[in-house]
Amino acid sequence: MSVVLSGVGHRFDAQPWLFRGLSVSLETGHVYALTGPSGSGKSTLLSILAGWTAAAEGAVHGSETMRVGWVFQNPHGVPGRTASDHVALPFLAQGLSREAADDKAAELLERFGLSPVAFRAFRELSGGEAQRLMLARGMAAKPDVLLVDEPTAQLDRATASTIDAAIAAMASADVIVVVATHDARTRAACTDEIALDDYRSDVAIG
């Protein structure tokens, strides 16, 4: 599937435009880095893609049944539940048996380098492990579009590199991934870039 943005722009009330004239087609199998400095509208554009915010102008075209997942900047989990529990839950919600859900969870945990902590409680995970767990859980929910907001913003460089590796592994034939980031190394881990600086109103509209 694809999600097509046509002339999308946004501002709040009478404030200056964050961006304008954004036209791009997002395709499955790609991981898009959404870049720009703080205040450039990265989180706002994620919210527009999620359908939570209506664009001030332009349109977003996607499937009416499009499933959207969101991985937030600060990972949240159930403190006493294991990493495996967090990833198995979406599979259980899809109707899989407990055994099948656990097997699927184990596959994803391995993909994200979390097998060694599969049975560790969420409260015992490091920041990098918790963030990778949220990425794995996001993929387990089988979204059509997965939105990831500043996944390395609060991590040291060594820990962030493990997140970047996980992001690079997320390119898949059946999901569109959009990662809001100001980190050049995270941007490099993605397959494509949408630079909001290219869509400032003074650049895009004149």
Task: Delimit the domains of the chain by residue range.
Answer: 1-67+143-205, 80-140
Read off the pTM.
Answer: 0.89
CATH top class, domain 1-67+143-205: alpha beta
Tell me the per-residue pLDDT of 1-27, one tens digit each, with 9 for 90 and over.
Answer: 899 999 999 999 889 999 999 999 999
Query: So what's the pLDDT on residue 8?
Result: 97
Tell me the per-residue pLDDT of 64-89, one tens digit each, with 9 for 90 and over.
Answer: 789 999 998 888 999 999 999 999 99
- Candidates 79, 67, 90; CA nearest to 1 is 67
Point out which residues pair with 68 in neighbouring strands: 145
Edge to edge, the sheet with strand 192-195 lists 68-71, 145-149, 176-181, 31-35, 192-195
